[in-house]
Amino acid sequence: MGSGPADEELMTSYGAGDSGAFETLYRRHRGPLYRFLLRQVSDAATAEELFQDVWMRVIDSRGRYQPRARFSSWVYAIAHNRLMDFYRANGKARFLAPYESQEALDALPSDDIPAEALIDRKRAAERLLAALSELPDAQREAFLLQQEGDLSVEEIGAATGVGPETAKSRLRYAVAKLRASLSVKS
């Protein structure tokens, strides 16, 4: 994630009392983590509230932190759990991804992205974000964990509490649908 000490070192230093290490860590992850939350709740105030909660949990856990896995994998797991709490508290039991058959996946447009989408990238991005918000929560989360958290399939599975195959499947559906959204002529 760039030069300088690894995230895990910074978190360990913060646990030992180095508040500067936390600041560096925070600067690295603030944007991606915020967007990961904002893209899922679609409300800036709620996203900020969840964002603060996640970082407060990181702060509170500084003494217990063990660098067994990547820091980003750990912090996005916290964010996922906080998001689940939010969904439950708000009666949004829609997170469980609906079963989507291979046929449905095959019915999606091909991998090719229209040339006009590549030319007008700004407009294409808007269409992609709109399509992202329409994705089932689990698929959207898997895509965002990959794009914002830079997590691997295994890490996505670990952070969301599912196996790698499930995480892989969710990613495939998400990418296929987003690509299809770019192919749709406006």
Which CB sits closer to another protein, 52 or 90?
A: 52
Q: Least distance in Å: CB of 52 to another protein?
A: 6
Contacts of 146 (CB under 8 A, 6+ apart): 156, 171
Which CB sits closer to another protein, 88 or 105?
A: 105
Which CB sits closer to another protein, 85 or 165?
A: 165
Q: How far is residue 10 from each of residues 29, 34, 80, 109, measured CA to CA in Å?
A: 12, 20, 22, 44
Instruction: List residues binding another protein (CB under 8 A).
Output: 14, 17-19, 22-23, 26, 30-31, 34-35, 38, 44, 48, 51-52, 55-56, 59-60, 62, 111, 113, 117-118, 121-122, 124-126, 128-129, 132, 146-147, 152-153, 168, 171-172, 175, 178-179, 182
Say which residue the tokens 């500084």 belong to: 62
Which CB sits closer to another protein, 5 or 88?
A: 5
Which CB sits closer to another protein, 59 or 104?
A: 59
CA dist 39 and 157 (Å) reads 19
Q: How far is residue 182 from each of residues 23, 90, 104, 111, 171, measured CA to CA in Å?
A: 38, 32, 18, 10, 17
Evaluated on CA atoms 57, 58, 62, 68, the torsion sign reads positive
Residue 53 · residue 11 · CB < 8 Å: no
Q: Least distance in Å: CB of 62 to another protein?
A: 7
Q: Least distance in Å: CB of 18 to another protein?
A: 8
Q: Least distance in Å: CB of 153 to another protein?
A: 6
